[in-house]
Amino acid sequence: MNTGLQIAARYRVEAIPARRFTHAEFWTAVGPSVNSSALKTAPIGESMLGRPIRSVTFGQGPTKVLLWSQMHGDESTASMSLADIFRFLAEGGGDPLRERLRRELTIVFIPMLNPDGAEVFQRENAVGIDVNRDARRLSTPEAATLKKMQESFRPEFGFNLHDQNARTRVGRRGVQSGIALLAPAYDSALSYNDVRSRARLVAAALATTFAHAIPGRIAKYDDAFNPRAFGDLMQQWGTSTVLIESGALPDDPQKQRLRALNVAAILAALDAIATKSYAAADPAAYESLPFNQGGAFDVLILGGQLVMPSKPPMPVDLAINYDDAVARMRGRVRDSGDLTDAIAIDTVNASGLFLHPSPAALSTSPAGPMLRLGNVAEFDLRRGPSASSELVRRIGGEGQR
Ligand SMILES: [Zn+2]
């Protein structure tokens, strides 16, 4: 992991500084790498709106690996990582890892499979289809391009690279998931054949690698069989496929830490395939991961007294969700009342304290101000019911953190 993180820092493509970028910006930024003699770039299809979908190939080895990113347009972390990996692979010189990958593997990357979605930073393609629910029907050009590559290249291993909801936790009472892994099922009985067993070993190797950097922040993705999804069908088609979902980490608003972790973990997984060391991985390293759990709020304020203008204080818990859950910006009130049993990424203990809504948090009505769900979450947490009592902390407000 440490070597991988050094590579991630050294080969970071600075022209991609944040998690939102267009197809044109991506391919301009990776141009110097993918046009090098070490890599081969080819057009393999077009999006609905005619943007080229390209593959980037590295190595001449006997074991074939396919990686694809951003089939969901607003899930860009791994595309950033692939840009950095291209730069590492493109460089000359005798780095032993690079030489091992070149000798043992033929790697095909398809970065940004859904460029039309990426352009407007949305999940779906240009007609609103979730490309990852189109693996069976193959009605979108994006899904058809991926399937065509699987059929012609026949990879033994696949990596399905995504970002998941930032409000997902490691187990019900756990912290925010940084990474979730899955060796998808190929049938509804969730059986294990050779193909899926091999994927589980790679997932176990990945779990161990990630655990060095973010212990306790790795979860297992829901493994229910989905007959429309690519991970599941790739497994059925004979490609041992692992899903890597980048979630969110504290103080990583642009997912740059997750980007570097993906560089290190993907390179480690490729190396484990090149050396076949994945075969010695312990499946328990994957199986023992807690399941992802959804349904969390971003912030819960528990045990406080709400002070509405000219009303006596009343006990109210508040739940806040950010419009941008990754960067934790622009909070809105999502629930109010007895929220003792609710779950959040962050919980503020307001016992014995008083919540004073700012004017921005209140809606006006003829009979008086209202605190409505959806309002901007902006509160002063004070020691007393008086607006002049000591301020403990401000929630929301400037910068909307
Ligand atoms: Zn996704």
Confidence (pLDDT) at 173: 79
Confidence (pLDDT) at 400: 45
Tell how far the Cα of 160 is from the centroid of ligand 1, in angstroms. 9
What ranges make up the beta strands (E) of 221-366? 240-246, 292-293, 297-302, 305-306, 314-315, 317-324, 329-337, 344-349, 354-357
Tell how far the Cα of 57 is from the centroid of ligand 1, in angstroms. 23
Asked if pLDDT for residue 384 goes beyond 50, the answer is yes
Tell how far the Cα of 117 is from the centroid of ligand 1, in angstroms. 12
Shortest CA distance to 103 belongs to which of 288, 276, 317, 289? 276
Q: How confident is the model at residue 397 (pLDDT cuts 50, 70, 90)?
A: low
Tell how far the Cα of 31 is from the centroid of ligand 1, in angstroms. 25
Asked if pLDDT for residue 107 goes beyond 80, the answer is yes
Shortest CA distance to 110 belongs to which of 152, 139, 60? 152
Tell how far the Cα of 74 is from the centroid of ligand 1, in angstroms. 8
Asked if pLDDT for residue 93 goes beyond 90, the answer is no
Mean pLDDT calculated for residue range 250-269: 97
Tell how far the Cα of 348 is from the centroid of ligand 1, in angstroms. 31
Confidence (pLDDT) at 396: 87
Quote the CA–CA distance of 118 and 110 in Å, as a whole number.
Answer: 14
Tell how far the Cα of 84 is from the centroid of ligand 1, in angstroms. 20
Tell how far the Cα of 162 is from the centroid of ligand 1, in angstroms. 4
For residue 339, what are its two tokens?
């929220």
**Rg of the chain over all Cα atoms, to the nearest angstrom:** 24
Tell how far the Cα of 137 is from the centroid of ligand 1, in angstroms. 18
Mean pLDDT calculated for residue range 346-374: 96
Shortest CA distance to 99 belongs to which of 261, 276, 270? 270
Task: Compute the C-alpha angle 91/94/100, nearest 5°.
Answer: 95
Confidence (pLDDT) at 92: 83
Tell how far the Cα of 89 is from the centroid of ligand 1, in angstroms. 26
Asked if pLDDT for residue 398 goes beyond 80, the answer is no
Tell how far the Cα of 72 is from the centroid of ligand 1, in angstroms. 5
Q: Measured between alpha carbons, how far is residue 46 from residues 54, 127, 333 in Å?
A: 9, 14, 42
Asked if pLDDT for residue 160 goes beyond 80, the answer is yes
Residue 180 · residue 221 · CB < 8 Å? yes
Asked if pLDDT for residue 251 goes beyond 80, the answer is yes
Q: Measured between alpha carbons, how far is residue 5 from residues 11, 67, 254, 257, 390 in Å?
A: 10, 20, 17, 10, 45
Residue 181 · residue 283 · CB < 8 Å? no
Tell how far the Cα of 202 is from the centroid of ligand 1, in angstroms. 20
Asked if pLDDT for residue 344 goes beyond 60, the answer is yes
Quote the CA–CA distance of 131 and 229 in Å, as a whole number.
Answer: 8
Q: How confident is the model at residue 401 (pLDDT cuts 50, 70, 90)?
A: very low
For the chain, give the mean pLDDT: 96
